[in-house]
Amino acid sequence: MPSKYQPVSPKITGTDARRVHTRLASLAQLPEKGRIEHVGYIQSVSYSAPGSAPQLSADVVDQPSSMRAPRGTVPHIRLRFMGQKSVPGIRPGVKIEYSGMVAPVEQIPTIYNPRYIIVPVARG
């Protein structure tokens, strides 16, 4: 008995199922909202207060700096790790490659629970 019906394969029409991230060369190119990928350096790390929900925040900049620039003059992004008291490898000075959905939170570009890789730095 020949079948005139073909197997159905799922197809997505109208939108692409892949998550497309914009690769940034610098945080100066940071969009207000959207998916991004970037490589930068952790400038500072802060922890949630005792008695509140665990959360670790890391501010990331393009280049490490030995001198502190006035707050708000250097483009930066905040990575927030929800439910975490600490995250292995996340500390000031570490080079990190990260990606996620950026959105302004209290007028600071922020990514919640980003995907990240600690980038090894050659020591000389």
Report pLDDT digits (tens) over 55-79: 999 999 999 875 555 555 789 999 9
Contact indicator for 93, 114 with CB cutoff of 8 Å: no
What does the mean pLDDT of the chain come to?
A: 85
For the domain spanning 33-65+74-118, the CATH number is 2.40.50.140
Q: CB-based contacts of 117: which residues, under 8 Å, 6+ apart?
A: 96, 97, 98
Report pLDDT digits (tens) over 73-92: 789 999 999 999 899 999 99
Domain boundaries, the chain: 33-65+74-118
Q: What is the pTM of this model?
A: 0.78
The predicted structure's pLDDT at residue 27: 94
